[in-house]
Amino acid sequence: MTSVSTFFPKLWLSIVVLITALALAPAVASAQLLPPVAPAGNPVTESKVRLGKVLFWDEQVSSTRTVSCGTCHIPTTGGDDPRSADNPAAVHPGPDEIFASGDDILGSPGVPASDDSGLYLLSTHFGLRDQVTARRTVSTINAGYSPTLFWDGRAGEQFLDPVTLEVVLNSGAALESQAVGPIVNDVEMGHLDRSWSDVISRLEMSTPLAVAADAPTALLNWIAGRTYGDLFEEAFGTPEISPARIGMAIATYERLLFTNQAPFDEFLLGADVLTPEELAGRGVFTASSCDRCHSLAIMTDHLFHYTGVRPPTDDVGRFEVTGDADDMGRMRTPSLRNLELRAPYMHNGQLASIEEVVDFYNRGGDFDAPNKDSRVRELFLTMEERSNLIAFLGRPLTDPRLAAGQPPFDRPTLYTESARVPTVEGSGVAGSGGLVPEVVAVEPPLLGNPSFTVAVGGALGGANALLVIDGTDPGLVTPSDGELAFESVVLQGVGVGQGFGSVSLALPTDASFIGRQWFGRWYVEDAGNGGTTAVSKLLRFGMFASLSQNLLMVDGFESGDTSEWSASVP
Ligand code: HEC
Ligand code: HEC
């Protein structure tokens, strides 16, 4: 294993420059952000960073092959999820379980509810669509500095093997502890009761980054057509894939995602880089006690406070971890770095802009409780102070490399960001209640995908339903065959509009299927609307080959010949 310094020479050079600068300015030395410290037992190495990056961005890690860690943590939006803003598909109904009431949460869409055979279940709040997290994301950028992670700090310092529960890393390993959570969580990435042996066999059967639409060349050159076993072997010495290794690789990648090249960093080193407004805004920030909690160069005290965003009972926060009544509603202070990229704000995403956050603090928060922090109080800011504070919270805190997606913040283009996602178009035939059955297909039509699920919802419960997929539109009258699929199921659910079902198809491996369009419809035996059959709208998709296969074909390489790539690994 080569050291990380050859991997990111510029980064390490800049660190050396910083350290030199620190020596010249000892007064602020403690304020400067140095790279996060890796725990003893999981040192940063080049190959672990790369494996971690592949795992972090590979949507195949999720049960449905539609969600990677990166799906909810996009660097150019500050390591938070841009989909949370202004998007009905990202709304969680909150503790009252009613949509469009005051306690709704702007979260992140994960996976549709599914079981271990790839079939979909009906989620109470989200039906057959992607389930949504009950909190706004916390940024993965600079997460390496936090002793505990999540809004409530439930990912702690000690990393336990999630299967054996043995201690793998004794301290400083919150990133490792956190990373093994989402993969088996049935809202974020997993099916119901997903086991680690399921995750491991998924990786063993998958070509790394196969469903990504594109990826940084350096990363593809490193993968060079190899299997996950090969990549684990390079990173850990043997090809064994284990949850502990998955956690350690992802955490190692995340440890490199720190930002210390914002104007604020230069300011901390004594440079005169803030505009007069920004500088005045820093004064307001300090005078308003913001810096008491958003403290140090990282701009958080890593502690938990109740600040009156929602009543403490809405989301009990830290109380969930400690059981201490004084912790009701307390959340971990988020770092304010790269803030302007990361709207919406707060644990529930309720504040849409920096302006709204400043107004929230200016009025002393929205709710009270005995444990509310007294520093959150009415501020009586003048218009000028308000706009200066807003100016300080913007540009000065943003690292331009992050905003531009420059290495190490570069990333693959996800399948879900591509035009490969199946579309639904045209019209169908209504059944009971005047409802047209809904066709749902979100999984990647990757050549050879052993479980490509197509679901039907909003139909008559208990009815017989038939899925037909063919080379042309199978039409509004039940056809007698289908080239790609002709599968019937009895719908689950009772009553009008409550019926749902799904079929998990093994897609062919034959490359001749690429370049053709496929068309599918559901036919539901339902005479309720005067006809005999209700028919869904038209599903349309094309199959694609894995990213590496595509490149091999484009570059005219023989499959398996990676010598030219290997030679160009930086
Ligand atoms: C479906 C969206 C989603 C997916 C997928 C997802 N996350 Fe998150 N992530 C969240 C949300 C929401 C939170 C905040 C949850 C909380 O605090 O309870 C979070 C919190 C985090 C944090 C905590 C940061 C901090 O400072 O507290 C880290 C680190 C993180 N995620 C990394 C990952 C990794 C690694 C993966 C993949 C293994 C992943 N996430 C997958 C939504 C997601
Ligand atoms: C008592 C500690 C404390 C003080 C004082 C404080 N904050 Fe906060 N801040 C927090 C906590 C805790 C949160 C998260 C609250 C939540 O989501 O429920 C937060 C959230 C934020 C956020 C949202 C960040 C994100 O990632 O969503 C911004 C912006 C912010 N504070 C700015 C300020 C400013 C500006 C001031 C001064 C006017 C200030 N804070 C004063 C503790 C504090």
pLDDT score, position 552: 52
pLDDT score, position 380: 98
Of 424, 387, 408, 553, the residue nearest 36 (C-alpha): 408
What residues form DSSP beta bridges with 305? 331
Q: Does ligand 1 come within 6 angstroms of the Cβ of 338?
A: no
- pLDDT by 10s per residue, the chain, length 570: 444 444 444 444 444 444 334 334 333 334 679 999 999 999 999 999 999 999 999 999 999 999 999 999 999 999 999 999 999 999 999 999 999 999 999 999 999 999 999 999 999 999 999 999 999 999 999 999 999 999 999 999 999 999 999 999 999 999 999 999 999 999 999 999 999 999 999 999 999 999 999 999 999 999 999 999 999 999 999 999 999 999 999 999 999 999 999 999 999 999 999 999 999 999 999 999 999 999 999 999 999 999 999 999 999 999 999 999 999 999 999 999 999 999 999 999 999 999 999 999 999 999 999 999 999 999 999 999 999 999 999 999 999 999 999 999 999 999 999 999 999 999 999 999 999 999 999 999 999 999 999 999 999 999 999 999 999 999 999 999 999 999 999 999 999 999 999 999 999 999 999 989 999 999 999 999 999 999 999 999 999 999 877 655 444 333 333 333 232 222
DSSP-assigned letters across all residues of 32-86:
S-PPPPPPTT----HHHHHHHHHHHH-GGGSTTS---HHHH-BGGGTTB-GGGTT
Q: Is 378 exposed, middle or buried (0-12, 13-18, 19+ CB in 10 A)?
A: exposed
Q: How far apart are CA 442 and CA 304, in angstroms?
A: 38
Domains and CATH numbers, the chain: 4-78+137-255 (1.10.760.10), 263-397 (1.10.760.10), 421-543 (2.20.130.20)
> Taking a C-beta distance cutoff of 8 angstroms, is the pair 347, 318 a contact?
no
Say how many Å lie between the CA of residue 137 and the centre of ligand 1: 6
What residues form DSSP beta bridges with 486? 468
Q: Does ligand 2 come within 6 angstroms of the Cβ of 322?
A: no
User: What is the C-alpha radius of gyration for the chain, rounded to an integer number of angstroms?
Assistant: 26
Report which residue type is found at 376.
V
Say how many Å lie between the CA of residue 375 and the centre of ligand 2: 11
Q: Whose CA is nearest to atom 19 of ligand 2?
A: 333
Q: Which residues contact 279 (CB under 8 A, 6 or more apart)?
A: 392
pLDDT score, position 344: 98
Q: How far apart are CA 301 and CA 298, in angstroms?
A: 8
3-state secondary structure of 203: helix
Q: Tally the residues of the chain.
A: 570
* Cα dihedral: 135, 141, 143, 149 (round 10): 10
Give CA separation, 117 vs 183, 187, 191, 206, 449, in Å.
17, 16, 9, 17, 14
How many Cβ atoms are within 10 Å of 205's Cβ, its own excluded?
12
Helix (H) or strand (E) holding 106: strand 105-106
Report which residue type is found at 180.
V
Q: Which residues contact 363 (CB under 8 A, 6 or more apart)?
A: 378
Say how many Å lie between the CA of residue 72 and the centre of ligand 1: 7
pLDDT score, position 548: 77
Ligand nearest to the CA of 320: 1
pLDDT score, position 15: 45
Say how many Å lie between the CA of residue 363 and the centre of ligand 2: 13
3-state secondary structure of 258: coil
pLDDT score, position 31: 62
Q: Does ligand 1 come within 6 angstroms of the Cβ of 131?
A: no
pLDDT score, position 6: 43
Give the mutation target among 74, 178, 203, 411 for probing the ligand 1 site: most ligand atoms within 8 A of CB: 178
Helix (H) or strand (E) holding 177: helix 174-179
Q: Any idea which residue has 């279940």 for tokens? A: 121
Q: Whose CA is nearest to atom 36 of ligand 1?
A: 69
Q: How far apart are CA 236 and CA 50, in angstroms?
A: 12
> Taking a C-beta distance cutoff of 8 angstroms, is the pair 541, 445 a contact?
yes
Give CA separation, 50 vs 46, 221, 222, in Å.
6, 11, 8
Index of the ligand 1 atom closest to the CA of residue 143: 26
Q: Does ligand 2 come within 6 angstroms of the Cβ of 299?
A: no
Ligand nearest to the CA of 342: 2
Index of the ligand 2 atom closest to the CA of residue 315: 18
> Taking a C-beta distance cutoff of 8 angstroms, is the pair 390, 358 a contact?
yes
3-state secondary structure of 17: helix
pLDDT score, position 470: 98
534: tokens are 């209700």
